[in-house]
Amino acid sequence: MVEITTPLTEEKARALRAGQKVAVTGVIFTGRDAAHKKLVEALDRGEELPVDLRDQIIYYVGPCPPKPGWAIGSAGPTTSYRMDSYAPRLIREAGLRGMIGKGQRGPEVVAAMKEDGAVYFLAMGGAGAVLAQRIKKAEVVAYPELGTEAIHRLEVVGFPLIVGLDAAGNDAYVEGRTRYARPAPA
């Protein structure tokens, strides 16, 4: 298990390898497609973003309301390809260094990650309540009108992830299929 403390610098990101288990401690931000659209529209207008994404990690999640005593409700990952049209701009222009979600990414995202030294982490789908236990504080920091899709600032401790795509373009999904493939029966 590799322990990472945010911010996630390019040096830290480039040292990670697809398939590695990591535990992230520090600050991460949330954002789904509605927030990503607003962020890219702000870039289009030449505006400063409401959060500084340089060397930061965005978790593709729309958290549920918290239960009493919890910082946040269930916080499972959403399918990442929905952010693929926005992610390259945020990586290249805003300095986004890491993304957390589930599922594979498109070629434009992979190219931006390789070029700028970013990484994509996988969170376990269906484990939102377990992941929420690793979130110690949550506050809305941008786009509150989006409700659960607002950008939240999360403080996490030992947030468990797997490196899905590393900064060299290696893909844990592809490597996993190759590694565990069985020959067809004769």
Whose tokens are 């929905």? That residue is: 82
135 within domain boundaries: yes
Q: Where are the alpha helices (DSSP H) in 95-171?
A: 107-116, 128-132
- The predicted structure's pLDDT at residue 181: 62
Domain count, the chain: 1
CATH number at residue 42: 3.20.130.10
**Would you say residue 163 lies in a domain?**
yes
In a domain, 128, yes or no: yes
Q: Are 33 and 83 in contact, with CB atoms under 8 Å apart?
A: yes
Please give the residue that has the higher pLDDT: either 69 or 58: 58
The C-alpha angle with vertex 179 and arms to 159 and 59, in degrees rounded to 5, equals: 25
108 located within any domain: yes
Three-state SS string over 88-105 comes to HHHHHHHCCCEEEEECCC
Beta-carbon neighbour count of residue 80 at 10 Å? 25
Domain that holds residue 155: 2-179
**Which residues of 31-79 form beta strands (DSSP E)?**
57-59
Question: For residue 184, is it within any domain?
Answer: no
SS3 of 20, please?
Answer: coil
Task: Yes or no: say if 61 and 79 are a contact pair by the CB < 8 Å rule.
Answer: no
In a domain? residue 47: yes
Least confident range of 46-60, 86-100, 144-158, 169-183: 169-183
Give the CA distances from residue 108 to residues 2, 65, 66, 174, in Å, rounded to whole numbers and listed in that order.
27, 34, 35, 17
pLDDT at 175: 73
- For the stretch 135-150, pLDDT in tens is 999 999 999 999 989 9
In a domain, 185, yes or no: no
What is the H or E stretch that residue 24 is in? strand 21-30
Predicted TM-score (pTM) of this structure:
0.93
- Beta strand 135-142 pairing with 151-165: antiparallel
Q: Which tens digit of pLDDT belongs to each residue from 127-183?
A: 888 899 999 999 999 999 999 899 999 999 999 999 999 999 999 987 766 666 667
In a domain, 186, yes or no: no
| pLDDT score recorded for residue 157 | 98
- Answer yes or no: is pLDDT of 87 > 80: yes
Q: What is the pLDDT of residue 165?
A: 96
Taking the C-alpha atoms of residue 179 and residue 116, their distance in angstroms, rounded to an integer, is 28
Closest CA to 59 of 175, 152, 171: 152
